[in-house]
Amino acid sequence: MTEQSDLFSAPAPADQAQPAIKIKALRDQLNHWAHQYYVLDEPAVPDAEYDRLFRELQGLEAAHPDLVTPDSPTQRVVGAVMEGLASVRHAVPMLSIHTETDTEATGAQAFDARVRRELGLSDADPAIEYVAEPKFDGLAMSLRYENGRLVQAATRGDGEVGEDVTHNIRTIRQIPLTLPDGVPPILEVRGEVYMRRADFDALNERQREQGGKTFVNPRNAAAGAVRQLDSNITAQRPLSFFAYGLGAITPPGEGGPVFRTHYEMLLTLKSWGFPVAAQVQIATGATELVAFHQQVGASRDALPYDIDGVVYKVNSLQLQRDLGFKTREPRWAVAHKYPAQEMATKVEGIDVQVGRTGKITPVARLMPVFVGGVTVTNATLHNLFEIRKKGVRVGDQVIVRRAGDVIPEVVGVMPPLTDATEIISVDGVPIKQRHGNPPREIYVPNFRMPSKCPVCGSDVVREKGEANHRCTGGLFCAAQRKEAILHFAARRAMDIEGLGDKLVDQLVDANVIRTLPDLYRLGLTSLIALERMAEKSAQNVLAALEKSKQTTLPRFLFGLGLRHVGEATAKDLARHFGTLDAIMDASVEQLLEVNDVGPVVAQSLHTFFQQPHNREVVEQLRACGVTWPEGPVAERAPQILAGKTVVLTGTLPTLSRDAAKDMLEAAGAKVAGSVSKKTSYVVAGEEAGSKLAKAEELGVPVLDEAGMLALLSGTGA
């Protein structure tokens, strides 16, 4: 941190020439970054880095007012209208809000004090009522409705003139295209278009799998999606929207509504069908603003979307009018920031980690940096191709992102400094060595994927067409052994309660468990010997193990974690063969007779049971007392959904996901994880996301829980 924070902060030069040079250099650098950010949609540096230089420029200009020029980035709202999208002049300008950069409680107190002072209130006067809202990290949007129909959607642009992105905004499901009767004939709703973190992660995962470009953060992905010329591309990037204000509206004199408060206006927008964030609340006085800042800050990681702060707004619209504006910012609102979720730091080394499926992930060891509210020392680089694509080298300055509970990741390298910035080094500050990366003509990577697994020493391979490298050690590799045990213990497999991540780590690391049967050889003494294991919990684990011994053949087969054998296949196998021995002794041809078993699965099953060590594991498990009823599996329930594929999404009101899955499968349906043209039904509950959108896009019938139950009882769809 200290290494970076003194960038551009050389001691104040004695003569006048130097501030001018420095101011110019800062402006050039800021303009360059702003162009990359707003016009190219390719941010080069974290916002915090931009803000820091911006503040430094503001400071210098304040000290040298004679050097302030109208074209300085401090003197205008940055933004640009892209070629290709039509310009829209906003009927009411889209303003920005003053930002309180102080991330401590004092930021809220300072705002409240300022408002009280402007209104001429004394300490004796009552507290002011505010509305406190999250500050969504997306892009501002103005939606214009005429006679209840969406006629235009425009970006903020420079605040006066934005871009017409109506064609793209129409693809956002959360934005109503028509409004209920009774809305004012002219209505402009202002709010934020953003991308939920889960949608962003899925999008990037998809891009990575397809070898496409990954996005730096949800805001950037959202901005890119909104400004597409082709709305088909936008439609594939799941966007969301929150309303937080109004632009033009039919005046009360012409029949428009009369709002007394900002909150009342938000509630009305909500009743008209616009999403308003659940976190929005009324806060009275500075104390409640501080509490809101803290409370939202504490739950920031748990929110499904990125926020970079909170916004406080004076609730009374009359008071808002009294307070008015200061140049382009309202005096009645302020943005109060949280620590940045992206920061620059240095890669000190690159290690690899072996995941539970054998996947080898390169991890950057970083110079510690405070990002997203915690100190981060490691960040994932995903895979070798990502390192190459991003051009990361050990020794580079990189941008690290940590948002939500996700693992911090390196999103890119800091670009080399522009020529203009190098001028600053006349001050004698060796910037090039301390900030950004030295300019490079060609990228020569200095990290190589190891050829042996660092955990077990087995060969590391990458299959054709795969982005990931894998350890070939299988159960011999401790990292993978943990995964196999967890899978065996999973609820839908052997259902061993209490045998979770932490315990499995301890057991494998202490070498108490090497193979699955070792689980059933665990005794009280070896469990209690583990750190933080009380006798009571140890007894519970043993009881759960004992209970799991009475199982079913499909659960046992699924628990073995054979490649390609999911729950459905395990059930089909059990039904077809009746006994485990019959399955183990089956030829490839016999296996192929099973419903849904193709050549790949048949071969892999056959090979598995041909290995003496695998048969040995099965025998030992049986010897430990694992048993299930053998013989022909009971006749099945009527297969009214045979041949149908169903996708579950969101939270159902009464049924758990597992229960719904069981019911559907019992009726012969296949339950799939993703929606395609072949999907027969999507069953959607609360908080359903992109799968629901996909279903609607493809015209797949969507059912709620009741609809699903009706279908199962034979009375539905």
Say how far residue 607 (Cα) sits from the centre of its chain. 39
Least distance (Å) between residue 247 CB and ligand IVH:
10
d(CA 524, CA 536): 10
d(CA 603, CA 417): 56
The single-letter code of the amino acid at 13 is P
3-state SS, residue 668: coil
Least distance (Å) between residue 133 CB and ligand IVH:
4
Q: On the CB side of 178, how many CA atoms lie within 13 Å of its CA?
A: 2
Least distance (Å) between residue 703 CB and ligand IVH:
35
- 664-702 in b/e form (b: 16+ CB < 10 A) is bbebebbbbeebeeebbbbbbbeebbbbbbbbeeeebeb
Closest CA to 446 of 380, 376, 348, 345: 348
Closest CA to 115 of 330, 288, 287: 330
Element (H, E) at 696: helix 690-698
Least distance (Å) between residue 147 CB and ligand IVH:
26
Full DSSP string of 5-45:
HTTT-PPPPSSSHHHHHHHHHHHHHHHHHHIIIIISS---S
Q: Are 484 and 514 in contact (CB under 8 A)?
A: no
Least distance (Å) between residue 24 CB and ligand IVH:
27
Q: Are 451 and 460 in contact (CB under 8 A)?
A: yes
Least distance (Å) between residue 145 CB and ligand IVH:
19
Residue closer to ligand IVH by CB (options 112, 409) is: 112
Contacts of 695 (CB under 8 A, 6+ apart): 647, 675, 679, 682, 684, 701, 702
Residue closer to ligand IVH by CB (options 199, 306) is: 306
Category of 207 on φ-ψ map: left (φ > 0), alpha (ψ -120 to 50) or beta: alpha
Residue closer to ligand IVH by CB (options 311, 379) is: 311
The catalytic residues are 135
Return residues touching ligand IVH (CB under 6 A): 95-97, 133, 135-136, 140, 156, 192, 244-245, 311, 330, 333
Residue closer to ligand IVH by CB (options 157, 559) is: 157
d(CA 662, CA 685): 17
Least distance (Å) between residue 569 CB and ligand IVH:
48
Least distance (Å) between residue 469 CB and ligand IVH:
41
d(CA 309, CA 373): 12
d(CA 695, CA 675): 6
Least distance (Å) between residue 549 CB and ligand IVH:
55
Contacts of 679 (CB under 8 A, 6+ apart): 645, 646, 647, 672, 695, 698, 700
Least distance (Å) between residue 229 CB and ligand IVH:
23
Contacts of 4 (CB under 8 A, 6+ apart): 49, 344, 345, 434, 435
Residue number closest to ligand IVH, CB atom: 140
Contacts of 571 (CB under 8 A, 6+ apart): 554, 665
Q: Provide the 8-state DSSP code for 466.
A: -
Helical segments of 277-414, H only: 285-298, 317-323, 384-390
**Taking CA 97 as the corner, what is the angle to CA 96 and CA 101, rounded to the nearest 5 degrees?**
130
Q: Are 328 and 77 in contact (CB under 8 A)?
A: yes
Least distance (Å) between residue 216 CB and ligand IVH:
18
Residue closer to ligand IVH by CB (options 162, 358) is: 162
Least distance (Å) between residue 302 CB and ligand IVH:
18
d(CA 415, CA 411): 12
Closest CA to 108 of 288, 280, 372, 341: 288
Which parts of 492-584 are beta strand (E)?
none
d(CA 340, CA 461): 38
Residue closer to ligand IVH by CB (options 94, 475) is: 94
Question: How many C-beta neighbours within 10 Å does residue 15 have?
Answer: 7
